[in-house]
Amino acid sequence: MKKIIIKGGNKLRGTVNISGFKNAALPIMVATILTKDKCIIENLPMIRDVDCLKEILIKIGAKVKLIEKGAMEIDTTNIEKCKLTDDINRKMRASYYLLGAGLGRFKESEVLYPGGCDIGVRPIDQHIKGFEALGATVEIDHGIIKCKADKLRGNRIYLDVVSVGATINIMMAATLAEGITIIENAAREPHIVDVANFINACGGKIIGAGTDIIKIVGVERLKGCNYSVIPDQIEAGSYMIMGVATEGDIIVNNVIPKHLEPVTAKLREMGVEVTEYGESIRVTVNKKLRSVDIKTLPYPGFPTDMQQLMSALLSKTKGTSVVTETIFDGRFKFVDELKRMGANILVDGRIAVIKGVENLMGTRVEAKDLRGGAALIVAALSANGVTEINKAYHIERGYEDIIDKLLNLGADIKEG
Ligand code: EPZ
């Protein structure tokens, strides 16, 4: 998708069905490497990153079959080693999960340093700390991360930084290690729980996922299983914010409301009417909204992946908001594009001061990363006139059928 063209001003109304969670689907697809049996993974979002990871799994020898939309059979029986140094690795961040899964099954893995959104420094020192604590040697040779272990033994690992990726990678490697591993200061995101639930469904023994202390009891082997990925709380939050930006009235369906608590709380603080049902949330704007401050934190704090979309919403909300991005040091690149639309935002390092303006104006802008691109959609939907969002391929990495879903909600949107 090259560009998205949006004519602002339509109020979004209606219901949108949320897809499976990208950031759970990707590690779960890789975790199938831990078993020699077939797995069936359902509720996968049909997005570019899932396609790319399917290609990666096939490249290393897996058989991957699309059974129906959103369901894949992944057979990793014939994989003999987990070594992938192709540039394909650079297309996403999640390719680094091959390190933990490869170590777990083959006691060896080699992966080109991963890519992913350009949202700041994205080191992997905590992943390496965990692998070495389990008995692996890790070296980075010409941009290739090489892990090797004669044997993996359980250990106690304290993460210096709360890291989703490191928590998941270490969990995967420890699943087939000898003995017990304890990860302290672990990330608590819902997708960590989803990956742990998948591994346990295959016969693993992971206790405490979702808390900051996770215990992994090593097992001999895993068997195959059928598993359905949790709904994407970031996609859901994105549509909620788009609904608010247009002063609309929308329902996001197939969600777990608890996973959206930080977003719901902030929208309510702004004066948005948010009603939670069993598996859906309704968002209605009945009055003038007020500005709020945002500080991103690991779950259950306000998610960094929602920061950019909220900043776009706040750029047209009366008052002044202070947004503090504590997770990534380069996640305000989209602000320059918002300023082209008339936003009044001052960025200083990890802090953005947003003075809400009466109107944003449609113009030509460029997506710099996945959520920054979605933030431009938020702005475009509420802007006066037509906005052309270039480099829209960033957006399709993480949002399934976003044009159709927004058309169904009444947006004036098309692919350019
Ligand atoms: C995952 O990235 C997500 N990506 C990101 O979503 C998300 O923003 C992030 O978690 C935080 O929730 C996927 O799941 C594919 P981290 P990840 O390791 O695992 C530092 C999106 O838009 N850190 O939790 O790379 C790091 O620099 C994407 O869907 C270390 O210092 O994030 C950052 O400051 C964007 N050393 C913080 O921890 C390490 O070894 C959190 O990073 C690892 C991380």
Q: Is 403 in the pocket of ligand 1 (CB under 6 A)?
A: no
CB atoms within 10 A of CB 67: 11
> Crossing angle, helix 164-175 and helix 22-31, to 10 degrees?
20
Pocket test for ligand 1, best of 89, 97, 157, 161 (most atoms within 8 A of CB): 161
From the list 254, 265, 264, 208, the residue with the least C-alpha distance to 228 is 254
pLDDT band, residue 93 (cuts 50/70/90): confident
pLDDT at position 227 = 98
Residue 92 has pLDDT above 80, yes or no: no
What is the 3-state composition of the chain as percent helix, strand, coil, each rounded to the nearest 5?
35, 30, 35
Tell me which residue has its CA closest to atom 18 in ligand 1. Answer: 163
What pLDDT does residue 103 have? 97
328 Cβ closer than 6 Å to some ligand 1 atom:
yes
Q: Ligand 1 pocket test: pick from 19, 23, 90, 238 the residue with the most ligand atoms within 8 Å of its Cβ.
A: 23
Question: pLDDT band for position 142 (50/70/90)?
Answer: confident
Cβ of 262 less than 6 Å from ligand 1: no
Nearest atom (ligand 1) to Cα of 117? 35
Ligand 1 contact, 166 CB (< 6 A): yes
Q: Which of 207, 209, 213 is nearest to 183 (CA)?
A: 213
* Distance set, CA 30 to CA 17, 82, 145, 332 (Å): 26, 11, 17, 30
Edge-to-edge strand ranges of the sheet holding 4-7: 364-366, 386-390, 4-7, 412-415
- Across the chain, mean pLDDT equals 96
Q: 199 by DSSP, 3-state: which?
A: helix
Give the catalytic positions in this structure: 117
CB 368 within 8 A of CB 118: yes
Residue 86 has a pLDDT of 78
What confidence tens digit (pLDDT) does each residue in 265-313 have? 999 999 999 999 999 999 999 999 999 999 999 999 999 999 999 999 9
Question: What whole-number distance in Å separates Cα of residue 167 and Cα of residue 92?
Answer: 18
Ramachandran region of residue 254, left (φ > 0), alpha (ψ -120 to 50) or beta? left
Q: Which residues fall within 8 angstroms of residue 156, CB to CB, at 6 or more apart?
A: 133, 181, 182, 184
Q: What is the pTM of this model?
A: 0.97
The reply to whether ligand 1 has any atom less than 6 angstroms from the CB of 163 is yes
Q: Cα angle vertex 301, ends 334, 194, to 5°?
A: 95
Half-sphere exposure of 6 (CA within 13 A, CB side): 35
Give the Å distance between the CA of 124 and the centre of ligand 1: 9
Indicate which residue's Cα is closest to atom 38 of ligand 1: 163
Question: Average pLDDT of 72-77?
Answer: 98
- 336 token code pair: 């320059």
- What is the pLDDT, as a whole number, of residue 115? 77
Answer whether 121 contacts ligand 1 (Cβ < 6 A): yes
Relative to the CA of 187, which ligand 1 atom is closest? 24
Instruction: Report the separation in Å between the CA atom of 164 and the middle of ligand 1, taken as the mean of its atom positions.
Output: 6
Give the tens place of pLDDT for each residue, 52-64.
Answer: 999 999 999 999 9
Q: At residue 90, does pLDDT exceed 80?
A: no
> Mean pLDDT over residues 22-36, rounded?
98
pLDDT digits (tens, 9 = 90+) for 148-204: 999 999 999 999 999 999 999 999 999 999 999 999 999 999 999 999 999 999 999
Beta carbon of 125 within 6 Å of any ligand 1 atom: yes
Position 139 pLDDT exceeds 80:
yes
pLDDT, average across residues 389-398: 96
Closest-lying ligand 1 atom to the alpha carbon of residue 398: 29
* Angle at the Cα of 400 from the Cα atoms of 395 and 403, rounded to 5 degrees: 70
**Ligand 1 centroid, distance to 204 Cα (angstroms):** 25
At 368 the pLDDT is: 96
**Residue 240 and residue 234: Cα distance in Å, rounded?**
10
Q: Whose CA is nearest to atom 43 of ligand 1?
A: 124
* Model pLDDT, residue 2: 86
Give the number of residues written for the chain: 416
pLDDT at residue 85 tops 90: no
